[in-house]
Amino acid sequence: MSSAIIKPVRPTAEEVYQQLERILSSEEFHSPERGRRFLEFIINETLEGRSEFLKAFTIANEVFGRQVNFDAQNDPVVRIEAGRVRRALERYYLVAGQMDSVTITIPKGGYRPYFEYTDCPPSPTLPTAPVGSAPSTEQDETERPLPQDGRPMRQQLIGLTLGAALLVGATSLHVFLTPTFSLFGKDPSGASPVEPSEPRIIVETFDGGGLSSTAANLAHGLRDEIIGKLAKFDDILVIADSSKTEERSQTAYGLEGNVQLDGDRLRLAARLVRQSDGVVIWANNYDADVRVQGKLEIQAYAAEQIASAIAEPYGAVFKADTDTIVQQPKAGSADAYACRLAYYSYRRSMDAQSHQAARDCLQRATEMFPKSAASWALLSLIYLDEMRFRYKLGTSPTPQTLELATAAAETAASLAPNDARVLQALMLVSFFRNDIDKALQAGAAAYAVNPNDTEVAGEYGLRLAMSGKWASGCELISNVVNRGAGPKGYYEIGMALCALMRNDIQAAELWSRMSDLEYNPMHHLVLLSILGAAGKTADAKQEENWLSAHAPGLMKDIRREVSLRLQRPEDQERFFRGLRAVGIAVEPAGHG
């Protein structure tokens, strides 16, 4: 699970200048003139051997014309422009530069650019953050980094393509929590249900290697960073003092780790141990070069990666707890937390049986624990799924279905208005009620609360994209896909739509086939539109036949289903053109 540090051969100065020219001449490099001057300046200074002088003061004077009294603390112009150029570079490589042989990045924590070949081994640097899409405050130096392997974004997309091919035959976790299981424990007297018991994560002191003050300081700082990141997840309890913990339980975990320093090479190792039996349920290593990254940047990056990996909805803790409850449905005191696990189990399997089990469980949870905002939020999503996944679940939603979803989301919001999961539910309900402004406001708020929650980030990215904000939405979805988040193949369909809307049909088909086509018949409809746009009539006919056999209702109501998701008429028509190209009839707008 570790990423080795290997020093690759760097591109020559001539190759870097050629790549710079390619980037600056591309329409997909979205940066104003001063951003272009900034990029040219820092690259030229680095290639001329003057990278040590790339400080905010120097850049402000040379590029932005600031005077000698420039104060970087009070005037963040250089830091802001660096963040913008980072995002512009990431977008360029995502959209137009996927086949380029040279990568140019600007690692966070400084202004010195980094050059590497596309097919080189992973960089020793901790990579820069992708473009998020929460409303910009221009304080972007704290954005989330890309996944831990350090590759440029397009390399990761290629890796995902290969990975998807290898995983086609693999089955995802498929768990049935049937309504017959008793998910609500009672106290010994049988008088009342137990209170919800979220999983507890005990963050132990990280080992700093004893003799190295740098490693010891990093270990201490890393633990503090991890505690801060984990505390943003409302579904878990974070414990900083292990001496005050209660007796061991199935849902208590210890997070352990160490920091090793070998010259300029730094390795952070972390593992999550189940307290009840000592089983290691997750472990990973993170490598860095202390010559390139600052201590605070290394700590922040590793803490974000660790917190997301173990605490997000489909992370290590929830997978382990789901297995425990299913294997031992009558052991211990199951509670409202078990219903949350039932919900995420259902989202993985996406079948009628697990949907009904989770629905029943959450309804009972909100009755027994009416102040459980998380239960109300997930119940809202369960109701909403009866509408948006109707052709997969075999449900027959009515106008009341959406009202039930709305009422549950509003109840959750009244209990915990700043909870990320609650805001996610409010975003989705508002989106499908066609209140797009309210949906995006809720999504931005949810993302601001916890940008490390990839489910929040992914769903927000989808809503941004489908409301017409394709650039910001697609980059956010790409980040989530690169981190392997969510149900298998769920966010890949968003990437397929992103490629379709920019008329990159080849990429659109690739992403569409990487999605889980069995997850939702709408995924097949997306592929059908893409194949129509590509002129692949025979393949399109196969998709049409599948949809006619498995989702005939969808084929009779295409416009309604597409317009529920794609908000702009011009985006809808782009989608419909692919269908019409292979003879699929789409009723006119306003019909009926």
Question: Nearest 5°: CA angle at 510, between 508 and 514?
Answer: 115
**pLDDT (0 to 100) of residue 217:** 81
Four-residue CA torsion sign, 97, 124, 87, 501: positive
Token pair 């309604």 is at which residue? 560
Mean pLDDT, residues 305-322 taken together: 82
d(CA 485, CA 160): 12
Q: Are 266 and 218 in contact (CB under 8 A)?
A: yes
Q: What is the mean pLDDT of the chain?
A: 79
- Residue 200's SS3 state is strand
Four-residue CA torsion sign, 499, 501, 504, 508: positive
d(CA 205, CA 133): 35
Crossing angle for the helix pair 569-580 and 521-534, nearest 10 degrees?
70
Locate 155 and state its tokens.
Answer: 């390399």
Locate 507 and state its tokens.
Answer: 């990429």
Mean pLDDT, residues 472-476 taken together: 91
Number of Cβ within 10 Å of residue 112's Cβ equals 16
Locate 456 and state its tokens.
Answer: 């929040």
**pLDDT band at residue 159 using 50, 70 and 90 as cut-offs:** very low
- Does the pLDDT at position 150 exceed 50? no
Question: Nearest 5°: CA angle at 17, between 148 and 64?
Answer: 85
Mean pLDDT, residues 278-302 taken together: 85
Q: Are 142 and 131 in contact (CB under 8 A)?
A: no
**pLDDT (0 to 100) of residue 325:** 56
The model's pTM: 0.63
For the segment 541-561, what is each residue's pLDDT rounded down to a tens digit?
999 999 999 999 999 999 999
Q: Which residues contact 58 (CB under 8 A, 6 or more apart)?
A: none
Q: Are 97 and 110 in contact (CB under 8 A)?
A: no
Number of Cβ within 10 Å of residue 581's Cβ equals 17
Torsion of CA 495, 496, 501, 504, to 10 degrees: 110
Helices marked H in 176-250 — which ranges? Answer: 213-230
**pLDDT (0 to 100) of residue 311:** 85
**pLDDT (0 to 100) of residue 504:** 95
Q: Give the single-character DSSP code of 434.
A: T
Q: Are 362 and 374 in contact (CB under 8 A)?
A: no
Q: Are 81 and 75 in contact (CB under 8 A)?
A: no
- Does the pLDDT at position 178 exceed 60? no
Percent of the chain with pLDDT over 70: 78
Q: Where are the beta strands (DSSP E) in 118-230?
A: 200-203
In terms of DSSP bridges, do strands 102-105 and 114-117 run parallel, antiparallel, or are they unpaired?
antiparallel
Token pair 């009755």 is at which residue? 367
d(CA 228, CA 200): 15
Locate 119 and state its tokens.
Answer: 């097919």
**pLDDT (0 to 100) of residue 301:** 85
- Does the pLDDT at position 281 exceed 90? no
Question: Nearest 5°: CA angle at 436, between 432 and 351?
Answer: 25
Mean pLDDT, residues 176-197 taken together: 37
For the segment 351-384, what is each residue's pLDDT rounded down to a tens digit?
999 999 999 999 999 998 899 999 999 999 999 9
Q: Are 485 and 146 in contact (CB under 8 A)?
A: no
Token pair 């017959």 is at which residue? 180
**pLDDT (0 to 100) of residue 73:** 61
d(CA 536, CA 98): 24
Cα 345 to chain centroid distance, Å, stands at 18
**pLDDT (0 to 100) of residue 80:** 81
For the segment 160-172, what is each residue's pLDDT rounded down to a tens digit?
333 333 333 333 3
**pLDDT band at residue 231 using 50, 70 and 90 as cut-offs:** confident
Torsion of CA 355, 357, 358, 363, to 10 degrees: 120
Token pair 């086949």 is at which residue? 99
- Of 102-106, 450-454, 575-579, 582-586, the range with the lowest mean pLDDT is 450-454
Locate 485 and state its tokens.
Answer: 């988040």
**pLDDT (0 to 100) of residue 72:** 59
For the segment 206-218, what is each residue's pLDDT rounded down to a tens digit?
887 665 577 788 8
Stretch (H or E) spanning 257? strand 252-262
Distances, alpha carbon 111 to alpha carbons 17, 81, 82, 87, 550, in Å: 17, 10, 7, 14, 54
Q: Give the single-character DSSP code of 186.
A: B
Q: Are 30 and 90 in contact (CB under 8 A)?
A: no
Helices marked H in 143-212 — which ranges? Answer: 153-167
For the segment 91-148, what is each residue's pLDDT rounded down to a tens digit?
888 878 888 899 999 987 788 899 988 764 433 333 333 333 333 333 333 333 333 3
- Of 380-394, 481-495, 574-588, the range with the lowest mean pLDDT is 481-495
For the segment 15-66, what is each residue's pLDDT rounded down to a tens digit?
999 999 999 999 888 888 888 999 999 999 899 888 877 888 788 878 887 7
Question: Domains in the chain, please, with CATH?
Answer: 13-162 (no CATH), 200-322 (3.40.50.10070)
Locate 539 and state its tokens.
Answer: 């393949």
d(CA 82, CA 55): 12
**pLDDT (0 to 100) of residue 323:** 63
Is the model more confident about 318 or about 11? Answer: 11
Q: Give the single-character DSSP code of 561.
A: H
